[in-house]
Amino acid sequence: MSKRLSRRGFLKLGLGAAAGAAGAQLFLSSRAGSLSPVAQAAQGTIIPKYYLAGTDGWASLPGVGNTHFYPDTWAPTGKTSYMFGFADVSAYKTVNPPVSADVLGFKQKAQSCAPMMYFDEVDPNDPNKQPYVVRLTNLGLAMRPDLVDSHTVHWHGFRNVIPMFDGEPGSSMAVPIGRVFDYAYYPYECGTYMYHCHFEDTEHVHMGMVGPVVVRPKQNGTSKTYGGRTFTKFAYNDGDGSTGYDREYVMFLSEVWNESHWDDAHIQLPDWTDYKADFYLINGRVYPDTIKENGEAVGAPTNGVPGDLGDQPYSALAKCKPGERVLLRFVNLGFTKASMTLAGIRMRVVGMDAVQLKGKSNVDGSYETNTIQIGPGESVDAIFTAPAHSGGSGYDSYMLYNRNIPGISNNGNAGLGGQMTEVRVYPANSNAISATQVGPNDLAYLA
């Protein structure tokens, strides 16, 4: 039988609690004089590897048609579509204050796709290991000063991330306009990943706040012989050299729905249930822009190529010589599945979602194909051996494209476009490409 709490009992209980609180206060007061001050811990000085600035900008997506949503009549000359994104301000990562006048100058200069980030795998048993730091600031939106969204960096697929640095705003930090936050990572697993803003993620992901991340394996730098050839660069810690390669190219897939991009520029709200992509992109471009060269001085303060592609600096053109092994890192952060086909060359899929296709008993799970199915939020690592050259001084061209028909048109028009690029095989003695690749996607600053 339970006892009911009377009014008198309640008063006694309240007086007892008050007396206890007063006693605790007296105890703390008596102890205060015996507590000695502790020196403040020194702040670590870890320089960020990358410094990103969240902002807006404009992209050039060539297509035919003059609809209500495309091209945007507010777009600068040569541009067609409004976007959100990250600008690469790594050149100012050691400058104080972090949000300097130079960094503020990148407002409305968002890059499509977002900067490619490369890290070396960290050995968890290294007593002197240091985290990699990615710094993020939020410059606001030049076209939409009324839209005061925060931004985050979410490393998609990172295992056992520290919650504070996950970039999911429900359980970690989000960066408001004018502020700075440093994300710290210990990447213990190599492979191909992606990152994106997780604040209002449906909108921010589609609007362009997306980019690839690559973690290079600890095995890199060692010599391993596979198939009669010796390699020092690998996709994974394979142990036998089976993922060794000579050149690597990231193929980052995304999409543009004209209506949502127009709506965000014109203070409207899209109905995401009506989603229908109008453009399909590789590395922030559509064909034929995908086969144009990389931007000059990418990653520098004068980032960009002359002309319309100034904020779309990454080429998707893959170059190689006969017999070379080429690693293609496919990443999909669009909203639809892609079927990427390399016509005339078979690829060997060696990894998916930053995991080598190899069982615990070292059973080889890799497989050959000429078409890769890749869904939203997935990554696929595939290696091909460049075929013999047909002869002559020019290059042989092999088409790499999304065989889903809407994926290879621009704005639904006739003709080739969208997620299409080329693999070019040059003669062995050609000087048109370097004997060894200077960096992934032929970008020297990522070497």
For residue 214, what are the contacts with CB-CB under 8 A and spacing of at least 6?
Answer: 116, 117, 118, 119, 191, 192, 193, 250, 329, 440
In tens digits, what is the pLDDT along the chain, a chain of 447 residues?
445 555 445 445 454 555 555 554 544 454 455 555 545 444 557 799 999 999 999 999 998 877 899 999 999 999 999 999 999 999 999 999 999 999 999 999 999 999 999 999 999 999 999 999 999 999 999 999 999 999 999 999 999 999 999 999 988 889 999 999 999 999 999 999 999 999 999 999 999 999 999 999 999 999 999 999 999 999 999 999 999 999 999 999 999 999 999 999 999 999 999 999 999 999 999 999 999 999 854 444 344 444 678 899 999 999 999 999 999 999 999 999 999 999 999 999 999 999 999 988 889 999 999 999 999 999 999 999 999 999 988 999 999 999 999 999 999 888 899 999 999 999 999 999 999 998 999 988 887
Cis peptide before 306 (omega within 30 of 0): no
Any idea which residue has 């520029």 for tokens? Answer: 265
Burial-class residue 418 by CB neighbours within 10 Å (0-12, 13-18, 19+).
buried
CA distance 249 to 401: 15
Neighbouring C-alpha atoms within 13 Å toward the C-beta of 391: 0
How do 81-88 and 132-138 pair as beta strands? unpaired
Cis peptide before 113 (omega within 30 of 0): yes
CA distance 408 to 279: 8
**Domains of the chain, start order:** 50-446 (2.60.40.420)
E-assigned strand segments in 147-209: 154-156, 180-185, 191-196
Using DSSP's 3-state secondary structure scheme, residue 379 falls into strand
- In our burial notation (b when 16+ CB lie closer than 10 A, e otherwise), range 318-327 reads bbbbeebbbb
